[in-house]
Chains A and B, each alone.
Chain A
């Protein structure tokens, strides 16, 4: 007989259904709190109450310089951080489902290498420093890299391991070209390096307006696809028997997630770790392995990046730490802690 008395290893304090219902609410509350903290704190401390009043358009809000700092400096940066965080976390989760691989991250198919190459080319073409063409080149580089990866995989692009290997191969190729270009143009080393570490400083409303449509549309598409994405956790034949066309769905998800990731990279450089740590954390807390948690994952990713950016500009103020350093520096140990304490069922 099978051991029927096996003790469920998951905590019984909160039922799975309750967890699934509470998680999105907690994530939204966390995001609002993070947004409020992030716009109020900084070299100039803003009054929380007045800040909230200003944001809600109520009377008694901030005036003068404080108002300008809030609305024109901090708010666009914080909103951009939220959008980028949501995009990276949701596309990481989508890639993990599509490739049935818990280690898949948004940069898997060569987006990072392609965007890095694009940015390097843009820096070489201009005076050193962030120029408007860098995001465009990075975006194009990322999209071209994924398109090339899928073309290399060719007819076997329905086979996840083949796509992964093609992505790794193309990524190595693009990185080689990037390194060669950097060697030939040592003046761009510094700006490229600081771009690769990820940054949100100097982001104004125009940057938000540039990226918001792509990211919001991709997030909506991923949310709508998420129920069918669950079928990709099964084998392709099993997915077909549930009425899903695995190759077509996989391609759609890859295209949408690539669009979101490339946009995020174009806006903020390469910010690591969000795409892996947030999906795992949320799935483990909600006990949902399925893609239904993707909206919660997006909101949590937004909150995480807003807080990471806040840390980046306050910890060593008035200097700034690159946000990519913060996400890895805080994210990695925290993730390892969770991994060790929770043990099973995390993936």
Chain B
């Protein structure tokens, strides 16, 4: 569904991405894993035209010439918080490319469905600037999902959410993935990433180091090589990897 071919990004003499090749199938969920500065966010930004690149990015086999909000949606790691805007106004921003409230009949329905699904309906008139980090992050995800684009890019979508909210929000996205949504995300929490994605793409220094199913890729050796330092990988009851960084001087 989304393909990156030899995508290279150079900024003032530095190579940020070095010939990235990446493919995510329709209904797939690929997760970019790697240390800070590996280029994960840059991969996502290149797909929404946020950064100039060489190479090709295709969605559904078609090269992206200009960004089409009906085909790709994006959740930023650092979303702007518009002052004084209500939650429902904010979520509706995701529908503005599809016409005015008068012409976009689908808009009102999908917005109210998502507000309900993300437990935002009871507070929809509150101002987004008054929300907790977790509430606002749900608004951002709702705003991206109302676009109903077949491809969703998520940059650290759960960083502000508590344990159960992480699951609740990712479940909302996962339900759409089962219906054919294609997801490409970055996540620092490798354990959580392994619960949702079917493919790990491990990146370092702007390159793809290794990719494959989470249980294959998330082994201590590969991760230690990429992240440096000691890493323990256990398996949970479902056989999925549980990843911890190892402390060099244990707490006694």
Q: Within 8 Å CB of B48, what residues of A?
A: 237, 240-241
A42 to nearest B CB, angstroms? Answer: 39
In the complex, the answer to whether A345 meets B96 with C-beta atoms within 8 Å is no
Secondary structure class of chain A's binding surface, majority of residues: loop
A2 CB within 8 Å of chain B: yes
Q: Within 8 Å CB of A100, what residues of B?
A: 80, 82
Our count of residue pairs bridging A and B at CB distance below 8 angstroms stands at 100
In the complex, the answer to whether A240 meets B49 with C-beta atoms within 8 Å is yes
Quick check: which of A28-36, A69-77, A283-291, A316-324 contacts chain B, the rest being far away? A283-291
Given contacts A2-B132, A227-B100, A243-B69, contact A234 B80 (CB under 8 A): yes
A230 CB within 8 Å of chain B: yes
Nearest to A20 among chain B residues (CB) is B101
In the complex, the answer to whether B119 meets A290 with C-beta atoms within 8 Å is no
In the complex, the answer to whether A233 meets B126 with C-beta atoms within 8 Å is no
B97 CB within 8 Å of chain A: yes
Q: Within 8 Å CB of B238, what residues of A?
A: none
B84 CB within 8 Å of chain A: yes
Docked complex Cα distance between A227 and B125 (Å): 21
Nearest to B164 among chain A residues (CB) is A1
B122 CB within 8 Å of chain A: yes
B68 CB within 8 Å of chain A: yes
Given contacts A6-B126, A242-B97, A243-B67, contact A237 B132 (CB under 8 A): no
In the complex, the answer to whether A2 meets B134 with C-beta atoms within 8 Å is yes
A158 to nearest B CB, angstroms? Answer: 12
Query: Which A1-19 residues sit within 8 Å CB-CB of chain B?
Result: 2, 4-6, 8-10, 16
Quick check: which of B19-27, B85-93, B208-216, B227-235 contacts chain A, the rest being far away? B85-93
Query: Which B67-107 residues sit within 8 Å CB-CB of chain A?
Result: 67-69, 72-74, 76, 78-80, 82-86, 88-89, 93-94, 96-97, 100
Given contacts A231-B96, A243-B68, contact A8 B84 (CB under 8 A): no
In the complex, the answer to whether A289 meets B82 with C-beta atoms within 8 Å is yes
| Cβ-neighbour of A344 out of B123, B127, B153 (below 8 A) | B127
In the complex, the answer to whether B86 meets A238 with C-beta atoms within 8 Å is no
In the complex, the answer to whether B69 meets A233 with C-beta atoms within 8 Å is no
B45 CB within 8 Å of chain A: yes
Given contacts A16-B86, A240-B67, A242-B97, contact A233 B132 (CB under 8 A): no
Given contacts A237-B48, A289-B82, contact A10 B69 (CB under 8 A): no
What mask results when residues 76 to 108 of chain A are scored 1 for a CB within 8 Å of chain B, else 0? 000000000000000000000000101000000
Size category of the A interface is 20 to 34
Q: Within 8 Å CB of A165, what residues of B?
A: none
A16 to nearest B CB, angstroms? Answer: 7
A291 to nearest B CB, angstroms? Answer: 10
Docked complex Cα distance between A235 and B81 (Å): 8
A302 to nearest B CB, angstroms? Answer: 24
A296 to nearest B CB, angstroms? Answer: 15
Q: Within 8 Å CB of B45, what residues of A?
A: 237
In the complex, the answer to whether A288 meets B69 with C-beta atoms within 8 Å is no
Docked complex Cα distance between A313 and B185 (Å): 64
Nearest to B122 among chain A residues (CB) is A4
What mask results when residues 200 to 243 of chain A are scored 1 for a CB within 8 Å of chain B, else 0? 00000000000000000000000000011011011111101111
What mask results when residues 328 to 347 of chain A are scored 1 for a CB within 8 Å of chain B, else 0? 00000000000000001111
In the complex, the answer to whether A290 meets B79 with C-beta atoms within 8 Å is no
In the complex, the answer to whether A235 meets B96 with C-beta atoms within 8 Å is no
Nearest to A290 among chain B residues (CB) is B89
What mask results when residues 114 to 136 of chain B are scored 1 for a CB within 8 Å of chain A, else 0? 00000100110111001010110
Q: Within 8 Å CB of A16, what residues of B?
A: 86, 88, 125
Docked complex Cα distance between A278 and B85 (Å): 17
B50 CB within 8 Å of chain A: yes
In the complex, the answer to whether B94 meets A346 with C-beta atoms within 8 Å is no
Binding site for A on B (CB under 8 A): 45, 48-50, 66-69, 72-74, 76, 78-80, 82-86, 88-89, 93-94, 96-97, 100, 119, 122-123, 125-127, 130, 132, 134-135, 144, 147, 153, 165
Interchain residue pairs A-B with the least CB separation, the first 6: A241-B74, A289-B85, A233-B82, A8-B125, A235-B80, A347-B83
| Contacts A235-B76, A345-B84, A346-B84 known; 18 new A-B pairs at CB < 8 A | A2-B119, A2-B165, A4-B119, A4-B123, A5-B122, A6-B126, A9-B130, A102-B84, A228-B96, A233-B93, A238-B74, A240-B49, A240-B67, A241-B74, A242-B94, A242-B97, A283-B84, A284-B84
6 contacts between A and B (CB under 8 A): A4-B122, A5-B122, A240-B50, A241-B74, A289-B84, A290-B93
